[in-house]
Amino acid sequence: MSQAVATSHVGWLGKLRVLFAVHYAEMIEYRAEIALWAIATMQPLIMMGVWAQAGESGLFSFTQIHIFRYFIAVFLIRQITIVWIIHHFEFLMVTGRLSPHLLHPIDPCIRYILMHLGEQWTRLPFALLIVGFFIFLYPDTLTGGAEGAAWWPGWLNLSLAVVTCYAAFILRFFMQYALCMAAFWHERVGAMDAVLFLPYAFCSGLLFPFEALPDALRDVLLWTPFPYMVWFPATLMVGGEVPMMRAALTMAGWTVFFFVLYRYFWHRGLKHYSAMGA
């Protein structure tokens, strides 16, 4: 690998840029499909409707406007944190197309991350259109209505939200990529993702605001990796209070855990892979 770097004329950054450009161009080809996919990720916006109605009743600790902002933030975060590598990896594995990727002087994992980024950039304009539509429906989300304040989390919170959002993507990516490694031994790993998706959906804050949870349950959930994929960046984006230190450490801990898990099984898997002569 080091040899390839020495003989090439483009730096690492240049390579990354080229790979990104290639995958972005590739994804643009599928923009019709990706636009539909933006619609397919609208579940938080549907839940927004139910929770907004609930917020109006006055029986909960949150207001309707808070719900609008929270779920729009969740929807945007979801756009950056969708990971589908497991389905692609299964395809590469089953068709034997992983082999050419292994010959490249760049770890395939980097290529897959750039693929995701390319796909995200293709999807984002469609997602923004959807957000625009909901803000048009409920303009109070931005303005805060008659007596509320406008939606502005502050520069610090906003930049932290963007950083944690990409950190959330990396965490989710490695969680799924670690599971991908099972593909070296088992053909159908895509089905496993469906099982992993459930705790993600129900524990991350994708479908409900954390304020609706009983305190004890919320505390337990904050030890799992899931809230850091949605709740953490979303709360920063709406300008809410987050136990910063604890959140950052738990998130980093889980990311390292899944990364190490992936590296370990990647090396074992590769040995197994060549052994099969696949």
Partner 1 sequence: MNRYLNTLRIFWSASISAEMEYRANFVMAALSSLMSLGGTVIMLYLFYRTGYEMGGWPWRDALAVVGVFTFLEGMQSTFMTPNRTRVTEHVREGTLDFVLIKPINSQFWLSVRTISLWGIPNIFLGLAIVGYGLITRETPPTAGGIFFGTAALLLGVLMLYSLGYLLSTISIWYIKLYNITMAMQALVETGRYPITAYPAAYQTFFTFVLPVAFMTTVPAQLMTARGGTGWLLGAVVVAALLLTLSIAFWRFALRYYTSASS
Binding positions for partner 1, rule: CB under 8 A: 30, 32-34, 36-37, 39-43, 46, 49-50, 52-54, 57, 59-60, 137, 188, 191-192, 194-195, 198, 201-202, 207-208, 212-214
Phi-psi region of 152 (alpha: psi -120 to 50; beta: other; left: phi over 0): beta
Which runs of consecutive H residues, i.e. helices, occur in the chain? 2-7, 12-29, 31-40, 43-56, 64-81, 85-95, 98-103, 108-137, 140-143, 155-180, 190-203, 215-221, 231-237, 244-276
Q: Tell me whether residue 52 or residue 181 sits nearer to partner 1 (CB atom).
A: 52
Shortest separation between residue 190's beta carbon and partner 1, angstroms: 10
Q: Tell me whether residue 117 or residue 203 sits nearer to partner 1 (CB atom).
A: 203
Burial readout 181-210 (b: 16 or more C-beta within 10 A, e: otherwise): bbbbeeeebbebbeeeeeebeebbbbbbbb
Q: Tell me whether residue 53 or residue 274 sits nearer to partner 1 (CB atom).
A: 53
Q: Tell me whether residue 202 or residue 264 sits nearer to partner 1 (CB atom).
A: 202
Q: Which residues contact 110 (CB under 8 A, 6 or more apart)?
A: 16, 19
Shortest separation between residue 230's beta carbon and partner 1, angstroms: 15
Shortest separation between residue 167's beta carbon and partner 1, angstroms: 25
Cβ atoms within 10 Å of 115's Cβ, excluding its own: 20
- Residues 109 and 173: their CA atoms lie apart, in Å, by 10
C-beta separation of 140 from 148 below 8 A = yes
Phi-psi region of 239 (alpha: psi -120 to 50; beta: other; left: phi over 0): left
CA 22: distance to chain centroid? Answer: 21
Shortest separation between residue 70's beta carbon and partner 1, angstroms: 14
Shortest separation between residue 195's beta carbon and partner 1, angstroms: 5
Q: Tell me whether residue 136 or residue 155 sits nearer to partner 1 (CB atom).
A: 136
| Structure token pair of residue 117 | 């980024």
Residue 103's identity, in one-letter code, is L
Q: What is the DSSP letter of 185?
A: T
Q: Tell me whether residue 29 or residue 107 sits nearer to partner 1 (CB atom).
A: 29
Shortest separation between residue 137's beta carbon and partner 1, angstroms: 6
Shortest separation between residue 51's beta carbon and partner 1, angstroms: 8
Q: Tell me whether residue 42 or residue 261 sits nearer to partner 1 (CB atom).
A: 42
